[in-house]
Amino acid sequence: MTAFFTRYYKKSSFVSYFSSLSLASICLYASLALAGASSLHINNAEIIQADDYFLLNADMEIVFSSEVEQALNKGVPLNFLTEFQITTPRKYWFDDEIITISRSVTLSYHALSRQYLLTASKHQQSFSTLQEAKDELAHLKDWQVFDKSILKKNETYHAALRMRLDQSKLPKPLQVDAIGSEDWSMVSQRYSWTPVFNL
């Protein structure tokens, strides 16, 4: 009886260990597969009032695949488009669009200075590492989005935010490769919320 129990215990322990090992391997392979793709996700967003206008702040997570990083380091600029919208819900019809605006930020690499550059309108920032540039790109701060005058008292408003890599600004050969590619498919979810305005 003792011998049987010992053999059973060893067999059970081996099966349990093998199962745990297999599960760990599956999780590892899955994480490696996910790590290889690019991604863009909005964590949070808020609208704050400053005098007679409103500012938008948001935090995002941005992951570049090795292919995107290589292209960037070889001189391919990456143009990111952030789109913001305010609407008023309507019960029996489409929501009324109050305002829709967008801003473009370009991330590029300057080989001579070995600096990563973020350019928005006429404002440019330089960074020593790609991670520093990505951290700044992922942090949207004090974007003036609309004036107080467009809002009405006792009205309900919905806000929506989305960020994406503008593939139309990529070089033509890359545009073809980017179609359906997880490396180049960088589009955030549509982040929606119902802001409360003190008018």
The single-letter DSSP state of residue 155 is: -
Identify the residue with better confidence: 22 or 186.
186
Task: Report the number of secondary-structure helices (H) and strands (E) in the chain.
Answer: 4, 9
Listed range (7-21, 44-58, 103-117) with the worst mean pLDDT: 7-21
Query: For 87-106, what is each residue's pLDDT tens digit?
Result: 998 877 888 999 999 999 99
Conformation bin of residue 4: beta by default, left when phi > 0, alpha when psi is -120 to 50: alpha
Average pLDDT, the chain: 84
Domain boundaries of the chain, sorted by first residue: 1-35, 38-193
Listed range (80-84, 145-149, 154-158, 176-180) with the worst mean pLDDT: 176-180
Nearest C-alpha neighbor of 137 from the set 109, 106, 161, 98: 106
Would you say the C-alpha torsion 131, 137, 138, 142 has a positive or negative sign? positive
Nearest C-alpha neighbor of 185 from the set 172, 199, 194, 174: 174
Query: For 29-70, what is each residue's pLDDT tens digit?
Result: 344 344 468 899 999 999 999 989 999 999 999 999 999 999
Listed range (78-82, 108-112, 176-180) with the worst mean pLDDT: 176-180
Banded pLDDT at 178 (limits 50, 70, 90): confident
Banded pLDDT at 28 (limits 50, 70, 90): very low
**Total number of residues shown for the chain:** 199
pTM of the entire predicted model: 0.78
DSSP E strands in 64-135: the ranges are 78-88, 96-110, 115-120, 123-127
Nearest C-alpha neighbor of 199 from the set 149, 125, 159: 149
CA distance 81 to 106: 9
Mean pLDDT on 106-126: 95
